[in-house]
Structures are given as structure tokens and as C-alpha cells.
Amino acid sequence: MFDELKRRFVEGPVLVAADYTHPLHMESDALDFATGAVLLMLCEDEKWYPCAFLSKGLNDVKRNYDMHDKEMLGIIQALEMWRHYFEGAKQEKIKIKVSIFVYLFPPSRAQT
């Protein structure tokens, strides 16, 4: 398994250079102690490859945020960091975990 991991790191593109003529895709996530995101680009082989990674630790105050606030903080940090990519991109697609929106915008309950 370790040999397979070594082979993949030296053989395939670990990071590709961002090209504004290709679609971009951002994914973000948060933990209790950090936020992280990855910026992906659709290449000619119709596969998504990473262009950039972002990881930020949370200080003591931000660690006390509710989880949905940590998720939103991660999204905001990534959009601020990669704003120049999205402004010049052919098209943007931002993937956000559905759970944050279920929490922020719960489905209305039928009243009985």
C-alpha cells in the first residue's frame, strides 16, 4: 500500500495550475479545531484535479462557535483566499455540505 501511495504522488499531478478556461469546483469542511477547503479544476480527461488547498486552525474563541458557524467560516475563508480564481473563471461551482443548510433553513413542518 505504501508503494502505491508513493507511485501516485510521483506519477500523477498532485496539484495542477489553475486555468481560467476550465470549470472550477470548491469544497469546504470544518472540524472542531480547524477549517479546510480544496479548489478543484476539471481537466481535459474529464477528471477533477486539485489546484489549491487551504487549512486554517481555529483559535480558542472560534473553537466555541457552533458547528454551522464553523462551516460558514470555512466557506468564507476559502472564497476570500480564492476570489481571484472565481472572478476570472469560465464557470464556478461551489459544493457546500447540505447539513449546514438543513440547520440554517429547516424544512417547514406541516401544522396539525
Is the distance from CB of 103 to CB of 30 less than 8 angstroms?
no
Question: Which CATH number describes the domain made up of 14-100?
Answer: 3.10.20.370
Contacts of 23 (CB under 8 A, 6+ apart): 41, 42, 89, 90, 91, 92, 93
For the entire predicted model, the pTM comes to: 0.72
Q: Could you state, in order of their start, the residue ranges of all structural domains in the chain?
A: 14-100
Q: Is the dihedral of CA 80, 83, 68, 105 positive or negative?
A: positive
In whole angstroms, give the CA distance from residue 4 to residue 104: 42
State residue 35's pLDDT score.
Answer: 93
pLDDT along the chain (112 residues), means of 10: 79 78 86 91 89 94 92 90 81 58 55 46
